[in-house]
A and B are shown apart, each in its own frame.
Chain A
Amino acid sequence: MIVQLRIDDRLIHGQVALVWTKELDTPGIVVANDSASENEMVQMTLKMATPTGKKLLIRSVDDAIKVFNNPKGQGMRMFALTNCVKDALKIAQNVENIGGINVANVGRFADKSEGEPVLVGSTLMLSHSELDALKELSKLDVPVFQQVVPSNAKVSIKTLLKDK
């Protein structure tokens, strides 16, 4: 089961490696990202960032969905990571039993091709298509919130999306 699905544009970094995996007590980390699943260099760096004693799997979004739905993994606590809202939406639509979706950091590397991004929260800069995906996501019956580090309070995305 997925304990938490985190959207973070740096995938695994200091905050995640040091804090979240201990916090959530998840032995398995799954990175669902198409380009990372094909890029050896990125895979290396992600493996380096994984805390000792935790297992890491890097898969394309479609393959990751297969992993999440694998009967072997039903009893296993997993921490899932994507780097954009669209990928997270795809997973949330195809996987049952997600504990929560944490929209942590998005858009610091935003491409400006769709015009000026919308500032939703201090660490959320969303392009228009990402914003639409986030609205879709908040309609699902999974708790969707923002909590950058565990010591922050959870902020519901619905409140952030008001009048956006």
Chain B
Amino acid sequence: MKLTQDMTKEDKKMLNGIFWRSFTVFASRAGATKAHAPGFMYSITPALNRYYKDDPEGRKEALMRHTTWYNITQNVGTFVMGLVASMEKKNSEEADFDSESIVALKTSLMGPLSGIGDSIFWGVLRVIAAGVGISLASQGSILGPILFLLIYNVPSILTRYYLTYMGFSLGSTFIERIYANGSMAILNKAASTLGLIMIGSMTASMVKFESKLSVPIAGGKPILIQTYLDQLFKGLVPLSITLVCYWLLSKKVNVNWILLGVLILAIILGLLGVV
């Protein structure tokens, strides 16, 4: 994609400024009503300084506009920052530009972008990275945490960078296009599929259960119950417990109760000598 073809040096300098500042977007949180507004204002300052250089009143209004509640998955939030920069540019050039629309668009994009961003970055990429990381780290290898960080961050930071430019150059038309031709739905389905494969594989490798119980056999060695369980279906107990937790969650049971329940269940099994 030729994102930088029509960009001046000035544009690039500004967008790189937004990109670097965007890393700190969630560093502060000004309570429940403003959330990450300070971080957003800080991130788009290069654009405001540039377009309202000779118009202190304009910059003041722009700053006041952006004191509203802000929260978007960070790696895709830069798209909105780029978009806002391009709209502030229009606003500073055209007298009859409706400045209200800047905040309206920013607000309406928060939902969809976070929905997609959360499931791709949190639900899939992080799960794959953690799956690889855990399997190496559980043997004590330092490669575990290092690979985890690389697998998660390389795609995340690239996304963050390109979306800053995309937001500025493509704007809202681009979103409409990829949605209208259905690419978005395919991307979402692909992300969920991959995520579920990984979660299934990690259920098998991370959730552990081993029973110590044995059945005495007359005149022979006692047989461990675990052997029977494995013959039925490998990982039967971990799989069942995970599915029960899922079922409880879908029945609206609070997560912390489920955590407590699993804790107590394991301790009781221990006291009874089952594990």
Asked if chains A and B are in direct contact (CB within 8 A), the reply is yes
Instruction: Determine if A47 and B179 form an interchain contact, defined as CB atoms under 8 angstroms apart.
Output: yes
Q: Residue of B at shortest CB range from A41?
A: B172
The CA-CA distance from A137 to B184 in the complex, in Å, is: 38
- A46 B32 Cβ-Cβ under 8 A: no
Give every chain B residue within 8 A of A141 (Cβ-Cβ).
none
B273 interface residue per 8 A CB criterion: no
Asked if A144 is at the interface (CB within 8 A of a chain B CB), the reply is no
Q: Are A41 and B69 in contact (CB under 8 A)?
A: no
Which one of A12-20, A62-70, A72-80 is at the interface?
Answer: A12-20
Distance, CA A36 to CA B116, complexed state (A): 20
When chains A and B are docked, how far (Å) is the Cα of A109 from the Cα of B252? 30
B252→A45 contact, CB < 8 A: no
Which residues of B line the A interface, CB within 8 A?
Answer: 32-35, 68-69, 73, 103-105, 107-112, 114-116, 118-119, 172, 175-176, 179-180, 184-185, 188-189, 250, 252, 254-255
Binding site for B on A (CB under 8 A): 9-14, 16-18, 22-23, 35-36, 39-42, 44-49, 52, 107-109, 119, 122-123, 125, 150-151, 153
Q: Is the CB of A44 within 8 A of B179?
A: yes
Task: Please give, as numbers and ranges, the residues of chain B lying within 8 Å of A40 by CB-CB distance.
Answer: 176
Q: Say whether A48 contacts B184, CB under 8 Å.
A: yes
Q: Check A44 against B176 for contact (C-beta < 8 Å).
A: yes
Q: Quick one: given A14-B118, A48-B116, are A151 and B250 in contact (CB under 8 Å)?
A: no
Q: How far is the CB of B76 from chain A (nearest CB, A)?
A: 11
- Assess whether A125 is in contact with B33, with CB atoms less than 8 Å apart: yes
Q: How far, in angstroms, from A151 to B257 measured CA to CA in the complex?
A: 10
